Chains A and B, each alone.
Chain A
Protein backbone atom coordinates (compact mmCIF):
# COMPACT_ATOMS: atom_id res chain seq x y z
CA UNK A 1 0.00 0.00 0.00
CA UNK A 2 1.27 3.47 -0.85
CA UNK A 3 -0.83 6.28 0.53
CA UNK A 4 -0.07 9.84 -0.51
CA UNK A 5 1.44 12.22 2.00
CA UNK A 6 -1.86 14.06 2.22
CA UNK A 7 -3.77 10.89 3.01
CA UNK A 8 -1.13 9.76 5.51
CA UNK A 9 -1.60 12.98 7.42
CA UNK A 10 -5.36 12.48 7.39
CA UNK A 11 -4.90 8.90 8.57
CA UNK A 12 -2.61 9.94 11.44
CA UNK A 13 -5.25 12.43 12.53
CA UNK A 14 -7.90 9.73 12.58
CA UNK A 15 -5.61 7.44 14.59
CA UNK A 16 -4.82 10.20 17.08
CA UNK A 17 -8.53 10.43 17.80
CA UNK A 18 -8.92 6.70 18.27
CA UNK A 19 -5.87 6.56 20.56
CA UNK A 20 -7.45 9.13 22.86
CA UNK A 21 -10.86 7.47 22.72
CA UNK A 22 -9.49 4.09 23.72
CA UNK A 23 -7.42 5.57 26.54
CA UNK A 24 -10.41 7.47 27.90
CA UNK A 25 -12.51 4.33 27.76
CA UNK A 26 -9.77 2.32 29.53
CA UNK A 27 -9.21 5.12 32.09
CA UNK A 28 -5.49 4.36 32.03
CA UNK A 29 -2.59 4.11 29.61
CA UNK A 30 0.02 6.26 27.92
CA UNK A 31 -1.12 9.12 25.66
CA UNK A 32 2.15 11.12 25.48
CA UNK A 33 4.34 8.48 23.87
CA UNK A 34 1.51 7.16 21.68
CA UNK A 35 0.92 10.58 20.14
CA UNK A 36 4.63 11.20 19.56
CA UNK A 37 4.99 7.91 17.65
CA UNK A 38 1.79 7.82 15.60
CA UNK A 39 3.04 9.65 12.49
CA UNK A 40 5.94 7.21 12.12
CA UNK A 41 3.78 4.13 12.67
CA UNK A 42 1.22 5.46 10.19
CA UNK A 43 3.88 5.97 7.50
CA UNK A 44 5.18 2.45 8.08
CA UNK A 45 1.86 0.61 7.81
CA UNK A 46 0.16 2.76 5.16
CA UNK A 47 3.10 3.35 2.88
CA UNK A 48 6.32 1.56 3.58
CA UNK A 49 5.70 -1.96 4.80
CA UNK A 50 4.66 -5.01 2.80
CA UNK A 51 1.84 -6.45 4.89
CA UNK A 52 -1.49 -8.09 4.15
CA UNK A 53 -4.25 -7.61 6.71
CA UNK A 54 -6.30 -10.34 5.00
CA UNK A 55 -3.42 -12.77 5.46
CA UNK A 56 -1.82 -11.25 8.50
CA UNK A 57 0.69 -14.03 9.12
CA UNK A 58 1.91 -14.09 5.49
CA UNK A 59 5.49 -15.35 5.91
CA UNK A 60 7.06 -12.77 3.59
CA UNK A 61 5.54 -9.78 5.37
CA UNK A 62 7.71 -7.00 6.71
CA UNK A 63 7.78 -6.92 10.49
CA UNK A 64 7.24 -4.12 12.97
CA UNK A 65 8.16 -4.42 16.62
CA UNK A 66 7.15 -1.82 19.13
CA UNK A 67 10.01 -2.00 21.60
CA UNK A 68 8.53 0.77 23.77
CA UNK A 69 5.47 -1.36 24.45
CA UNK A 70 3.58 1.26 26.47
CA UNK A 71 2.96 3.17 23.22
CA UNK A 72 0.80 0.33 21.95
CA UNK A 73 -2.44 2.35 21.57
CA UNK A 74 -0.75 3.96 18.53
CA UNK A 75 -0.17 0.53 17.04
CA UNK A 76 -3.68 -0.73 17.88
CA UNK A 77 -5.22 2.31 16.16
CA UNK A 78 -3.01 1.90 13.09
CA UNK A 79 -3.73 -1.80 12.72
CA UNK A 80 -7.46 -1.14 13.07
CA UNK A 81 -7.59 1.40 10.24
CA UNK A 82 -5.24 -0.74 8.15
CA UNK A 83 -7.94 -3.40 8.21
CA UNK A 84 -6.78 -5.98 10.75
CA UNK A 85 -9.90 -5.57 12.90
CA UNK A 86 -12.79 -3.20 13.55
CA UNK A 87 -11.63 0.08 15.18
CA UNK A 88 -14.46 -0.33 17.71
CA UNK A 89 -12.79 -3.43 19.12
CA UNK A 90 -9.87 -1.33 20.36
CA UNK A 91 -12.23 0.27 22.87
CA UNK A 92 -11.88 -2.89 24.96
CA UNK A 93 -8.29 -1.79 25.65
CA UNK A 94 -7.04 -3.07 29.02
CA UNK A 95 -10.30 -4.83 29.89
CA UNK A 96 -10.21 -8.31 31.34
CA UNK A 97 -10.12 -10.84 28.50
CA UNK A 98 -9.41 -8.29 25.75
CA UNK A 99 -6.65 -9.05 23.21
CA UNK A 100 -5.86 -5.31 23.50
CA UNK A 101 -3.59 -5.71 26.49
CA UNK A 102 -1.95 -2.75 28.23
CA UNK A 103 1.33 -3.77 26.60
CA UNK A 104 1.80 -5.88 23.43
CA UNK A 105 1.01 -9.58 23.83
CA UNK A 106 1.90 -11.59 20.74
CA UNK A 107 0.14 -14.70 22.01
CA UNK A 108 -3.23 -12.96 22.14
CA UNK A 109 -2.50 -10.92 19.01
CA UNK A 110 0.17 -12.51 16.77
CA UNK A 111 0.40 -9.50 14.43
CA UNK A 112 2.15 -7.61 17.25
CA UNK A 113 5.15 -9.90 16.48
CA UNK A 114 6.66 -9.70 19.99
CA UNK A 115 5.58 -9.29 23.61
CA UNK A 116 7.09 -6.13 24.98
CA UNK A 117 6.58 -3.80 27.94
CA UNK A 118 9.88 -4.42 29.66
CA UNK A 119 11.94 -1.75 27.95
CA UNK A 120 15.05 -2.57 25.94
CA UNK A 121 14.00 -6.04 24.84
CA UNK A 122 11.98 -5.61 21.64
CA UNK A 123 14.87 -4.30 19.61
CA UNK A 124 16.82 -7.54 20.19
CA UNK A 125 13.88 -9.51 18.84
CA UNK A 126 13.87 -7.27 15.76
CA UNK A 127 17.56 -8.02 15.31
CA UNK A 128 16.89 -11.74 15.57
CA UNK A 129 14.17 -11.65 12.92
CA UNK A 130 16.47 -9.63 10.63
CA UNK A 131 19.23 -12.24 11.07
CA UNK A 132 16.82 -15.10 10.31
CA UNK A 133 15.57 -13.30 7.18
CA UNK A 134 19.11 -12.93 5.94
CA UNK A 135 19.81 -16.58 6.58
CA UNK A 136 16.77 -17.44 4.44
CA UNK A 137 17.68 -14.91 1.72
CA UNK A 138 14.39 -13.14 2.31
CA UNK A 139 13.97 -9.59 1.10
CA UNK A 140 11.49 -8.73 3.88
CA UNK A 141 12.51 -5.91 6.16
CA UNK A 142 12.29 -5.42 9.92
CA UNK A 143 11.25 -2.17 11.57
CA UNK A 144 11.35 -1.28 15.22
CA UNK A 145 10.43 1.74 17.31
CA UNK A 146 12.10 2.63 20.60
CA UNK A 147 11.76 5.45 23.12
CA UNK A 148 14.59 7.84 23.96
CA UNK A 149 14.36 6.87 27.61
CA UNK A 150 14.36 3.24 26.60
CA UNK A 151 17.88 3.43 25.15
CA UNK A 152 19.21 3.93 28.67
CA UNK A 153 18.86 0.15 28.98
CA UNK A 154 22.16 -1.66 28.48
CA UNK A 155 20.50 -4.29 26.30
CA UNK A 156 19.73 -1.61 23.69
CA UNK A 157 23.43 -0.93 23.26
CA UNK A 158 24.30 -4.61 23.15
CA UNK A 159 21.86 -4.85 20.27
CA UNK A 160 23.22 -1.73 18.56
CA UNK A 161 26.74 -3.13 18.80
CA UNK A 162 25.79 -6.50 17.48
CA UNK A 163 23.41 -5.40 14.69
CA UNK A 164 26.13 -3.02 13.47
CA UNK A 165 28.65 -5.79 13.62
CA UNK A 166 26.37 -8.11 11.63
CA UNK A 167 25.76 -5.31 9.08
CA UNK A 168 22.01 -5.89 9.23
CA UNK A 169 20.90 -3.57 6.46
CA UNK A 170 17.42 -5.16 6.56
CA UNK A 171 16.89 -3.65 10.01
CA UNK A 172 15.60 -0.12 10.51
CA UNK A 173 15.05 1.31 13.99
CA UNK A 174 13.21 4.53 14.78
CA UNK A 175 14.13 6.37 17.93
CA UNK A 176 11.15 8.44 19.08
CA UNK A 177 13.04 11.34 20.64
CA UNK A 178 10.24 13.11 22.49
CA UNK A 179 12.70 14.28 25.16
CA UNK A 180 10.79 12.96 28.16
CA UNK A 181 10.51 9.76 30.19
CA UNK A 182 8.61 9.22 33.48
CA UNK A 183 10.64 11.04 36.11
CA UNK A 184 11.32 14.06 33.92
CA UNK A 185 13.17 15.12 30.80
CA UNK A 186 15.58 12.60 29.36
CA UNK A 187 18.35 15.15 29.71
CA UNK A 188 17.75 15.49 33.47
CA UNK A 189 17.11 11.84 34.23
CA UNK A 190 20.05 10.35 32.33
CA UNK A 191 21.46 12.23 29.39
CA UNK A 192 21.81 10.00 26.31
CA UNK A 193 23.30 12.55 23.91
CA UNK A 194 25.15 12.77 21.60
CA UNK A 195 23.13 9.98 20.01
CA UNK A 196 24.19 10.47 16.39
CA UNK A 197 27.89 10.08 17.13
CA UNK A 198 27.31 7.23 19.56
CA UNK A 199 25.22 5.15 17.20
CA UNK A 200 27.34 5.96 14.15
CA UNK A 201 30.34 4.69 16.03
CA UNK A 202 28.45 1.41 16.47
CA UNK A 203 28.54 1.12 12.65
CA UNK A 204 24.98 2.20 11.87
CA UNK A 205 23.63 4.41 9.13
CA UNK A 206 22.15 7.26 11.19
CA UNK A 207 19.54 9.67 9.82
CA UNK A 208 17.93 12.56 11.63
CA UNK A 209 14.40 13.82 10.90
CA UNK A 210 11.36 15.60 12.25
CA UNK A 211 9.22 12.64 13.27
CA UNK A 212 5.96 14.45 12.58
CA UNK A 213 6.81 15.43 9.00
CA UNK A 214 5.54 12.77 6.58
CA UNK A 215 7.85 13.80 3.75
CA UNK A 216 10.85 13.48 6.02
CA UNK A 217 9.70 10.13 7.40
CA UNK A 218 9.19 8.70 3.90
CA UNK A 219 12.47 10.17 2.69
CA UNK A 220 14.37 8.53 5.55
CA UNK A 221 12.67 5.19 4.93
CA UNK A 222 13.75 5.33 1.30
CA UNK A 223 17.35 6.03 2.31
CA UNK A 224 17.20 3.15 4.77
CA UNK A 225 16.06 0.81 2.00
CA UNK A 226 18.93 1.92 -0.22
CA UNK A 227 21.56 1.29 2.48
CA UNK A 228 23.11 -2.11 1.73
CA UNK A 229 25.81 -2.38 4.39
CA UNK A 230 24.52 -1.19 7.71
CA UNK A 231 21.41 -1.17 9.85
CA UNK A 232 19.67 2.22 9.85
CA UNK A 233 18.74 4.25 12.90
CA UNK A 234 16.33 7.09 12.27
CA UNK A 235 16.60 9.68 15.03
CA UNK A 236 13.10 11.12 14.92
CA UNK A 237 12.66 14.36 16.82
CA UNK A 238 9.12 14.41 18.12
CA UNK A 239 6.90 16.10 20.65
CA UNK A 240 5.42 14.10 23.49
CA UNK A 241 1.62 14.43 23.32
CA UNK A 242 1.82 15.86 19.77
CA UNK A 243 -1.46 17.25 18.46
CA UNK A 244 -3.18 18.01 21.75
CA UNK A 245 -2.16 21.45 23.05
CA UNK A 246 -2.57 20.63 26.73
CA UNK A 247 -0.58 17.41 26.40
CA UNK A 248 2.33 18.63 24.30
CA UNK A 249 5.54 18.60 26.35
CA UNK A 250 3.53 18.23 29.57
CA UNK A 251 4.96 15.07 31.01
CA UNK A 252 2.14 14.39 33.43
CA UNK A 253 0.51 12.91 30.31
CA UNK A 254 3.11 10.16 30.10
CA UNK A 255 0.88 7.62 31.78
CA UNK A 256 -2.48 9.22 32.57
CA UNK A 257 -5.59 8.85 30.43
CA UNK A 258 -7.77 11.84 29.56
CA UNK A 259 -11.19 11.96 31.21
CA UNK A 260 -14.35 12.53 29.16
CA UNK A 261 -14.14 16.34 29.16
CA UNK A 262 -10.46 16.31 28.33
CA UNK A 263 -11.19 13.90 25.51
CA UNK A 264 -13.84 16.22 24.06
CA UNK A 265 -11.47 19.15 24.31
CA UNK A 266 -8.76 17.18 22.56
CA UNK A 267 -11.05 15.88 19.80
CA UNK A 268 -12.27 19.40 19.06
CA UNK A 269 -8.84 20.88 18.61
CA UNK A 270 -7.13 17.97 16.83
CA UNK A 271 -6.26 18.76 13.27
CA UNK A 272 -3.74 17.62 10.73
CA UNK A 273 -0.24 17.72 12.11
CA UNK A 274 2.14 19.26 9.64
CA UNK A 275 5.43 19.75 11.39
Chain B
Protein backbone atom coordinates (compact mmCIF):
# COMPACT_ATOMS: atom_id res chain seq x y z
CA UNK B 1 0.00 0.00 0.00
CA UNK B 2 1.15 3.51 -0.80
CA UNK B 3 0.24 6.79 0.83
CA UNK B 4 -3.28 8.13 1.03
CA UNK B 5 -3.44 10.78 -1.69
CA UNK B 6 -4.27 13.43 0.91
CA UNK B 7 -0.89 12.73 2.52
CA UNK B 8 0.92 13.08 -0.81
CA UNK B 9 -1.00 16.31 -1.36
CA UNK B 10 0.12 17.71 1.99
CA UNK B 11 3.76 16.98 1.15
CA UNK B 12 3.47 18.43 -2.35
CA UNK B 13 1.84 21.57 -1.00
CA UNK B 14 4.86 22.38 1.20
CA UNK B 15 7.23 21.86 -1.76
CA UNK B 16 5.15 24.16 -3.94
CA UNK B 17 5.00 26.74 -1.17
CA UNK B 18 8.79 26.91 -1.15
CA UNK B 19 8.96 27.39 -4.90
CA UNK B 20 5.96 29.64 -5.51
CA UNK B 21 5.49 32.62 -3.24
CA UNK B 22 2.01 33.22 -4.65
CA UNK B 23 0.63 29.95 -3.38
CA UNK B 24 -1.76 30.50 -0.46
CA UNK B 25 -3.73 27.87 1.43
CA UNK B 26 -7.10 28.12 3.14
CA UNK B 27 -8.74 25.55 5.37
CA UNK B 28 -11.98 25.30 7.32
CA UNK B 29 -11.09 23.60 10.63
CA UNK B 30 -9.98 20.37 8.98
CA UNK B 31 -6.28 21.02 8.37
CA UNK B 32 -5.25 17.91 10.31
CA UNK B 33 -7.49 15.79 8.08
CA UNK B 34 -6.88 17.49 4.74
CA UNK B 35 -3.13 17.56 5.54
CA UNK B 36 -2.79 21.26 4.80
CA UNK B 37 -1.45 21.55 8.36
CA UNK B 38 2.22 21.21 7.41
CA UNK B 39 1.95 24.07 4.93
CA UNK B 40 0.47 26.14 7.75
CA UNK B 41 3.42 25.31 10.00
CA UNK B 42 6.04 26.27 7.42
CA UNK B 43 4.26 29.29 5.95
CA UNK B 44 1.98 30.66 8.67
CA UNK B 45 1.61 34.00 6.88
CA UNK B 46 0.29 32.30 3.73
CA UNK B 47 -2.02 29.89 5.55
CA UNK B 48 -5.52 31.06 6.41
CA UNK B 49 -7.57 29.25 9.00
CA UNK B 50 -11.14 30.23 8.09
CA UNK B 51 -13.04 28.35 10.79
CA UNK B 52 -16.05 26.23 9.92
CA UNK B 53 -17.31 28.40 7.07
CA UNK B 54 -16.84 26.75 3.71
CA UNK B 55 -18.96 29.16 1.65
CA UNK B 56 -17.04 32.19 2.86
CA UNK B 57 -13.74 30.39 2.32
CA UNK B 58 -14.63 29.74 -1.32
CA UNK B 59 -15.50 33.39 -1.91
CA UNK B 60 -12.38 34.62 -0.12
CA UNK B 61 -10.21 32.30 -2.21
CA UNK B 62 -11.75 33.73 -5.38
CA UNK B 63 -10.94 37.23 -4.16
CA UNK B 64 -7.36 36.23 -3.49
CA UNK B 65 -7.11 34.71 -6.95
CA UNK B 66 -8.38 37.93 -8.54
CA UNK B 67 -5.65 39.76 -6.61
CA UNK B 68 -2.93 37.53 -8.07
CA UNK B 69 -2.62 34.68 -5.58
CA UNK B 70 -2.84 30.96 -6.32
CA UNK B 71 -5.21 29.66 -3.64
CA UNK B 72 -5.60 26.01 -2.67
CA UNK B 73 -8.65 25.74 -0.44
CA UNK B 74 -9.20 22.56 1.48
CA UNK B 75 -12.02 20.72 3.18
CA UNK B 76 -13.86 17.44 2.82
CA UNK B 77 -15.19 17.16 -0.74
CA UNK B 78 -18.70 16.73 0.62
CA UNK B 79 -18.64 20.10 2.38
CA UNK B 80 -17.10 21.97 -0.56
CA UNK B 81 -19.55 20.71 -3.15
CA UNK B 82 -22.27 21.42 -0.59
CA UNK B 83 -21.65 25.08 -1.45
CA UNK B 84 -22.38 24.50 -5.12
CA UNK B 85 -23.94 27.87 -5.94
CA UNK B 86 -20.96 29.71 -4.48
CA UNK B 87 -18.63 27.54 -6.53
CA UNK B 88 -20.74 27.99 -9.63
CA UNK B 89 -21.05 31.77 -9.64
CA UNK B 90 -18.03 33.06 -7.72
CA UNK B 91 -15.48 30.55 -8.97
CA UNK B 92 -16.78 28.89 -12.13
CA UNK B 93 -18.70 31.62 -13.90
CA UNK B 94 -16.09 34.23 -12.93
CA UNK B 95 -13.25 31.87 -13.94
CA UNK B 96 -11.40 32.38 -10.69
CA UNK B 97 -8.03 30.69 -10.58
CA UNK B 98 -8.96 28.68 -7.50
CA UNK B 99 -8.00 25.10 -6.67
CA UNK B 100 -10.62 23.36 -4.58
CA UNK B 101 -9.14 20.44 -2.71
CA UNK B 102 -11.76 17.94 -1.60
CA UNK B 103 -10.52 15.12 0.60
CA UNK B 104 -12.37 12.13 2.08
CA UNK B 105 -13.57 10.78 -1.24
CA UNK B 106 -16.24 8.14 -1.28
CA UNK B 107 -17.23 5.26 0.97
CA UNK B 108 -13.51 4.61 1.52
CA UNK B 109 -13.60 6.95 4.53
CA UNK B 110 -15.56 4.33 6.46
CA UNK B 111 -17.22 4.73 9.84
CA UNK B 112 -18.00 8.47 9.88
CA UNK B 113 -20.76 7.69 7.42
CA UNK B 114 -22.70 9.40 4.67
CA UNK B 115 -22.60 13.04 5.74
CA UNK B 116 -18.80 13.10 5.57
CA UNK B 117 -18.42 11.16 2.29
CA UNK B 118 -17.92 12.91 -1.04
CA UNK B 119 -20.04 10.72 -3.28
CA UNK B 120 -21.57 13.16 -5.74
CA UNK B 121 -18.80 15.76 -5.99
CA UNK B 122 -17.45 14.69 -9.38
CA UNK B 123 -20.95 14.76 -10.82
CA UNK B 124 -21.72 18.22 -9.49
CA UNK B 125 -18.50 19.89 -10.54
CA UNK B 126 -18.35 18.18 -13.90
CA UNK B 127 -21.45 20.13 -14.94
CA UNK B 128 -19.63 23.46 -14.58
CA UNK B 129 -18.19 24.71 -17.88
CA UNK B 130 -14.40 25.14 -18.03
CA UNK B 131 -13.90 23.56 -14.63
CA UNK B 132 -11.08 21.03 -14.41
CA UNK B 133 -11.98 17.97 -12.36
CA UNK B 134 -9.08 15.78 -11.27
CA UNK B 135 -8.46 12.72 -9.16
CA UNK B 136 -5.00 11.19 -8.76
CA UNK B 137 -4.53 7.45 -8.37
CA UNK B 138 -1.44 7.39 -6.16
CA UNK B 139 1.40 9.26 -4.52
CA UNK B 140 3.52 9.97 -7.60
CA UNK B 141 0.56 11.13 -9.61
CA UNK B 142 -0.69 13.43 -6.86
CA UNK B 143 2.68 15.15 -6.68
CA UNK B 144 2.94 15.63 -10.44
CA UNK B 145 -0.64 16.82 -10.63
CA UNK B 146 0.04 19.39 -7.94
CA UNK B 147 2.99 20.78 -9.90
CA UNK B 148 0.76 21.08 -12.90
CA UNK B 149 -2.04 22.72 -10.93
CA UNK B 150 0.08 25.68 -9.89
CA UNK B 151 0.33 26.65 -13.55
CA UNK B 152 -3.18 25.65 -14.66
CA UNK B 153 -5.36 28.55 -15.77
CA UNK B 154 -8.93 28.52 -14.48
CA UNK B 155 -10.81 26.76 -11.70
CA UNK B 156 -9.95 23.21 -10.72
CA UNK B 157 -11.15 20.56 -8.29
CA UNK B 158 -8.88 17.83 -7.01
CA UNK B 159 -10.35 14.85 -5.16
CA UNK B 160 -8.28 12.93 -2.61
CA UNK B 161 -8.56 9.81 -0.49
CA UNK B 162 -8.53 9.45 3.27
CA UNK B 163 -7.30 5.85 3.03
CA UNK B 164 -4.05 4.44 1.69
CA UNK B 165 -4.07 3.40 -1.96
CA UNK B 166 -2.06 0.98 -4.09
CA UNK B 167 0.77 2.67 -6.02
CA UNK B 168 0.34 2.20 -9.76
CA UNK B 169 2.74 4.67 -11.35
CA UNK B 170 6.52 4.50 -11.66
CA UNK B 171 8.82 7.26 -10.48
CA UNK B 172 9.54 8.39 -14.07
CA UNK B 173 5.84 9.19 -14.48
CA UNK B 174 4.86 12.34 -16.38
CA UNK B 175 1.50 14.01 -15.84
CA UNK B 176 -0.43 15.09 -18.92
CA UNK B 177 -3.59 17.08 -18.22
CA UNK B 178 -6.64 15.53 -19.89
CA UNK B 179 -4.87 12.33 -20.95
CA UNK B 180 -5.73 8.87 -19.73
CA UNK B 181 -2.83 6.65 -18.68
CA UNK B 182 -2.65 3.12 -20.12
CA UNK B 183 -1.43 0.98 -17.25
CA UNK B 184 -1.99 -2.30 -19.06
CA UNK B 185 -3.30 -3.23 -22.50
CA UNK B 186 -5.83 -5.96 -23.21
CA UNK B 187 -8.22 -7.37 -25.80
CA UNK B 188 -11.22 -8.75 -23.91
CA UNK B 189 -12.24 -5.69 -21.96
CA UNK B 190 -10.97 -2.37 -20.61
CA UNK B 191 -11.37 -0.94 -17.14
CA UNK B 192 -11.30 2.85 -16.90
CA UNK B 193 -10.57 3.59 -13.28
CA UNK B 194 -9.99 6.69 -11.19
CA UNK B 195 -8.61 7.43 -7.72
CA UNK B 196 -8.47 4.63 -5.17
CA UNK B 197 -10.08 2.22 -7.61
CA UNK B 198 -7.16 2.38 -10.04
CA UNK B 199 -4.89 0.17 -7.96
CA UNK B 200 -7.71 -2.24 -7.25
CA UNK B 201 -8.61 -2.45 -10.97
CA UNK B 202 -5.00 -3.12 -11.91
CA UNK B 203 -4.70 -5.91 -9.35
CA UNK B 204 -8.00 -7.38 -10.53
CA UNK B 205 -6.77 -7.31 -14.13
CA UNK B 206 -3.60 -9.15 -13.13
CA UNK B 207 -5.62 -11.84 -11.39
CA UNK B 208 -7.90 -12.16 -14.42
CA UNK B 209 -4.86 -12.43 -16.69
CA UNK B 210 -3.86 -15.59 -14.79
CA UNK B 211 -7.32 -16.97 -15.52
CA UNK B 212 -6.98 -16.29 -19.23
CA UNK B 213 -8.70 -12.91 -19.60
CA UNK B 214 -6.87 -10.07 -21.31
CA UNK B 215 -8.00 -6.86 -19.59
CA UNK B 216 -6.75 -3.35 -20.27
CA UNK B 217 -6.58 -0.84 -17.42
CA UNK B 218 -6.67 2.90 -18.06
CA UNK B 219 -6.18 5.42 -15.28
CA UNK B 220 -8.38 8.47 -15.74
CA UNK B 221 -6.91 11.21 -13.56
CA UNK B 222 -8.66 13.99 -15.45
CA UNK B 223 -12.38 13.43 -15.29
CA UNK B 224 -12.96 16.76 -16.96
CA UNK B 225 -11.99 17.37 -19.69
CA UNK B 226 -12.38 13.65 -20.32
CA UNK B 227 -9.96 11.93 -22.72
CA UNK B 228 -12.33 11.18 -25.58
CA UNK B 229 -9.60 9.67 -27.74
CA UNK B 230 -8.76 6.85 -25.42
CA UNK B 231 -12.43 6.03 -24.88
CA UNK B 232 -12.97 6.02 -28.63
CA UNK B 233 -9.98 3.79 -29.10
CA UNK B 234 -11.14 1.13 -26.68
CA UNK B 235 -14.80 1.27 -27.61
CA UNK B 236 -13.74 0.15 -31.08
CA UNK B 237 -11.37 -2.48 -29.72
CA UNK B 238 -13.05 -4.33 -26.84
CA UNK B 239 -16.60 -5.63 -26.32
CA UNK B 240 -16.97 -4.33 -22.75
CA UNK B 241 -15.73 -1.20 -21.05
CA UNK B 242 -15.92 -0.87 -17.26
CA UNK B 243 -15.80 2.35 -15.33
CA UNK B 244 -14.55 2.05 -11.76
CA UNK B 245 -14.82 4.78 -9.11
CA UNK B 246 -15.60 5.33 -5.45
CA UNK B 247 -18.45 7.71 -6.33
CA UNK B 248 -22.06 7.47 -7.41
CA UNK B 249 -22.19 5.73 -10.82
CA UNK B 250 -24.33 8.65 -11.96
CA UNK B 251 -22.49 11.68 -13.25
CA UNK B 252 -18.91 10.85 -12.29
CA UNK B 253 -16.42 8.87 -14.34
CA UNK B 254 -19.13 6.39 -15.35
CA UNK B 255 -21.32 9.26 -16.50
CA UNK B 256 -18.52 10.92 -18.43
CA UNK B 257 -17.64 7.68 -20.23
CA UNK B 258 -21.30 6.90 -20.98
CA UNK B 259 -21.76 10.33 -22.56
CA UNK B 260 -18.67 9.87 -24.67
CA UNK B 261 -19.45 6.30 -25.75
CA UNK B 262 -22.96 7.26 -26.78
CA UNK B 263 -21.48 9.61 -29.35
CA UNK B 264 -18.97 7.15 -30.79
CA UNK B 265 -19.76 4.45 -33.32
CA UNK B 266 -18.02 1.84 -31.21
CA UNK B 267 -18.93 -1.73 -30.45
CA UNK B 268 -18.57 -1.87 -26.67
CA UNK B 269 -21.13 -1.75 -23.96
CA UNK B 270 -20.51 -0.10 -20.60
CA UNK B 271 -20.67 -1.57 -17.10
CA UNK B 272 -20.35 0.98 -14.31
CA UNK B 273 -18.58 -0.12 -11.12
CA UNK B 274 -19.18 2.29 -8.26
CA UNK B 275 -21.76 3.24 -5.68
CA UNK B 276 -25.07 2.30 -7.31
CA UNK B 277 -27.10 5.47 -6.68
CA UNK B 278 -27.46 5.03 -2.92
CA UNK B 279 -26.35 7.17 0.03
CA UNK B 280 -23.28 6.17 1.97
CA UNK B 281 -23.32 4.66 5.47
CA UNK B 282 -21.05 3.84 8.39
CA UNK B 283 -18.86 0.75 8.32
CA UNK B 284 -15.22 -0.22 8.07
CA UNK B 285 -13.67 0.94 4.77
CA UNK B 286 -12.90 -2.69 3.82
CA UNK B 287 -16.46 -3.78 4.53
CA UNK B 288 -17.90 -0.93 2.50
CA UNK B 289 -15.56 -1.65 -0.43
CA UNK B 290 -16.67 -5.26 -0.30
CA UNK B 291 -20.34 -4.36 -0.08
CA UNK B 292 -20.15 -2.07 -3.11
CA UNK B 293 -17.89 -4.41 -5.10
CA UNK B 294 -15.05 -1.87 -5.17
CA UNK B 295 -12.33 -4.14 -3.80
CA UNK B 296 -10.11 -6.37 -5.94
CA UNK B 297 -12.42 -9.38 -5.53
CA UNK B 298 -15.51 -7.31 -6.33
CA UNK B 299 -14.03 -5.88 -9.51
CA UNK B 300 -12.79 -9.31 -10.57
CA UNK B 301 -16.25 -10.77 -10.07
CA UNK B 302 -18.05 -8.00 -11.95
CA UNK B 303 -15.66 -8.24 -14.91
CA UNK B 304 -15.95 -12.00 -15.09
CA UNK B 305 -19.72 -12.09 -14.95
CA UNK B 306 -20.01 -9.40 -17.65
CA UNK B 307 -17.66 -11.32 -19.94
CA UNK B 308 -19.32 -14.66 -19.42
Contact = CB atoms under 8 A, between A and B. Distances in A.
Contacts of A181: 29, 51-52
A119 interface: yes
A96 B29 contact: no
Contact of A119 (B31, B52, B288, B291): B52
Q: Mostly helix, strand, loop or mixed at chain A's interface?
A: loop
A29 B110 CA distance: 11
A117 B116 contact: yes
A59 B79 CA distance: 33
Interface residues of A, number: 32
A69 interface: yes
A177 to B, nearest CB: 15
A190 B48 CA distance: 11
B250 interface: no
Contact of B114 (A117, A152, A153): A117
Interface in A77-124: 94-98, 100-103, 105, 115-120
B127 interface: no
B111 A102 contact: yes
Interface residues of B, number: 30
B115 A115 contact: yes
Given A154-B53, A154-B55, A183-B29, A103 B283 contact: no
A94 B288 CA distance: 12
Interface string B22-33: 000001011111
Nearest to A70: B112
A29 B113 CA distance: 11
Given A96-B282, A118-B78, A190 B49 contact: yes
B178 interface: no
A95 B282 CA distance: 6
A1 interface: no
The 9 closest A-B pairs by CB, nearest first: A190-B51, A117-B115, A96-B283, A102-B113, A152-B51, A94-B111, A152-B52, A102-B282, A94-B282
